[in-house]
Structure 1
Amino acid sequence: MIRRIVAACAAAFLLAAQPAAAQSILRDAETEAMFKQMADPLIVAAGLSPRNAKVVLLNDPAINAFTAGGQTVYVNSGLLQAADNANQVQGVIAHELGHVADGHVILSDGGTRPALGIQILSMVLGLAAMAAGSGDAGAGIMAAGQSAALGKYLAFSRVQESTADATGARFLRGANISGKGMLAFFKKLQNEEYAYGLKNIDPYMQTHPLSGDRIQALSADLQASPAWNNPPDRPLEERFKRVKAKLEGYVLSPERTLRDYPLTDTTIYAHYARAYAYHKAGYPDRAAAEADALVRADPADPYFLEIQGQILLEAGQPQESLAPLRAAVAGSHDNPLIATTLGHALIATEKRANYPEAIRVLRTAVGRDDDNPFAWYQLGTAYEASGDSARAALATAEQASLTGDLRTANRSAHDALANLPPNSTDWIRAQDIATAAQNEFDDNPKKYKKRR
Structure 2
Amino acid sequence: MRTILLALTLSTTLLATPVHASNDLQLPDLGGSTGALSLSEEKALGKEFMQEARSGLDIMHDDQINDYLHSMGYRLLEHMNPPFTHYRFILVKDPNINAFAAPGGYIVINSGLVLAADNASELASVVAHELSHINQRHISRAIDESQRMQWPMLAAMLAGILLSAAGGGQAGQAAMTASTAYGIQNQLQFSRDFEREADRIGIQALASAGYDPEGMPAFFEKLQNWSRLQGGNPMEFLSTHPLTLDRIADTRNRAEQLSGKRPDPEQDHDFDRFKTRVRAFSMTPNEAVSFFRIQASSQDSYQKELGSYGLGLALAQKGQYKEAIARLEQLNGQHPSVFAYQAALAEILLDSGKYASALKSYRQLQRAHPDSTLARAGLAQALLETDEEQAAVGMARQLAGEHPQNALYQQLLARALDKAGNKSEAHRALAEYYFLTGALPSAIQQLEIARSISGNDTKARAAIDARMVEMKRSGNPQGKDKT
Q: TM-score, normalised by structure 1?
A: 0.74
The match for 1:101 is 135
The match for 2:268 is 237
Tell me which moved more, 318-327 or 236-245.
318-327
Q: Are residue 361 (structure 1) and residue 361 (structure 2) matched?
A: no
Deviations 1:11-70 (A, max 9, x none): xxxxxx942754354455544554455445532332338964564433333212221123
Of 317, 320, 323, the residue aligned with 2:360 is 323
Q: Are residue 283 (structure 1) and residue 314 (structure 2) matched?
A: no
* Cα distance in 2 between the residues matched to 1:334 and 1:41: 16
Q: How many residues align?
A: 390
* Cα distance in 1 between the residues matched to 2:144 and 2:401: 40
Of 344, 352, 370, the residue aligned with 1:307 is 344
* Cα distance in 2 between the residues matched to 1:330 and 1:51: 30
8 Å Cα contact 1:407/1:437 also seen in 2: no
| Inter-CA distance 399–247: structure 2 relative to 1 (3 Å threshold) | same
Of 339, 347, 367, the residue aligned with 2:376 is 339
Of 426, 435, 453, the residue aligned with 1:401 is 435
| Inter-CA distance 421–81: structure 2 relative to 1 (3 Å threshold) | farther
* Cα distance in 2 between the residues matched to 1:101 and 1:310: 36
Deviations 1:426-446 (A, max 9, x none): 6665334322345479999xx
* Cα distance in 2 between the residues matched to 1:443 and 1:55: 23
Which aligned pairs between 1:104-115 and structure 2 lie closer than 5 A? 104-109=138-143
What secondary structure is seen at the aligned counterpart in 2 of 1:70?
A: coil
8 Å Cα contact 2:199/2:251 also seen in 1: yes
Of 267, 273, 277, the residue aligned with 2:310 is 273
CA shift for structure 1 position 102:
2.4
8 Å Cα contact 1:398/1:433 also seen in 2: no
Q: Which runs of 5+ in 1 are unaligned?
A: 1-16, 115-142, 445-452
Deviations 1:153-178 (A, max 9, x none): 33332232122223323334555643
* Cα distance in 2 between the residues matched to 1:175 and 1:81: 22
Residue type of the partner of 2:248? I
The match for 2:454 is 419
Q: Are residue 253 (structure 1) and residue 290 (structure 2) matched?
A: no
Q: Are residue 58 (structure 1) and residue 118 (structure 2) matched?
A: no
Residue type of the partner of 1:191? N
Which aligned pairs between 1:2-401 and structure 2 lie closer than 5 A? 18-19=50-51, 22=54, 23-26=57-60, 28-32=62-66, 34-35=68-69, 38-40=72-74, 42-48=76-82, 52-53=86-87, 55-109=89-143, 149-175=183-209, 177-198=211-232, 207-223=240-256, 225=257, 227-228=258-259, 230-257=261-288, 258-259=290-291, 262=294, 263-265=296-298, 267-349=304-386, 351=387, 354-401=388-435
CA shift for structure 1 position 392:
2.2
8 Å Cα contact 2:65/2:278 also seen in 1: no
8 Å Cα contact 1:66/1:96 also seen in 2: yes
What secondary structure is seen at the aligned counterpart in 2 of 1:73?
A: strand
| Inter-CA distance 78–434: structure 2 relative to 1 (3 Å threshold) | same
8 Å Cα contact 2:315/2:321 also seen in 1: yes
Tell me which moved more, 74-83 or 299-308.
299-308
The match for 1:14 is none
| Inter-CA distance 436–228: structure 2 relative to 1 (3 Å threshold) | same
CA shift for structure 1 position 394:
1.9
| Inter-CA distance 411–109: structure 2 relative to 1 (3 Å threshold) | closer
What percentage of aligned pairs have identical amino acids?
26
CA shift for structure 1 position 190:
0.8
CA shift for structure 1 position 189:
1.0
What secondary structure is seen at the aligned counterpart in 2 of 1:19?
A: helix
8 Å Cα contact 1:177/1:228 also seen in 2: no
* Cα distance in 2 between the residues matched to 1:407 and 1:147: 35
CA shift for structure 1 position 92:
1.6
Higher alpha-carbon Rg = 1
| Inter-CA distance 270–440: structure 2 relative to 1 (3 Å threshold) | same
Residue type of the partner of 1:385? K
| Inter-CA distance 391–213: structure 2 relative to 1 (3 Å threshold) | same
Q: TM-score, normalised by structure 2?
A: 0.69
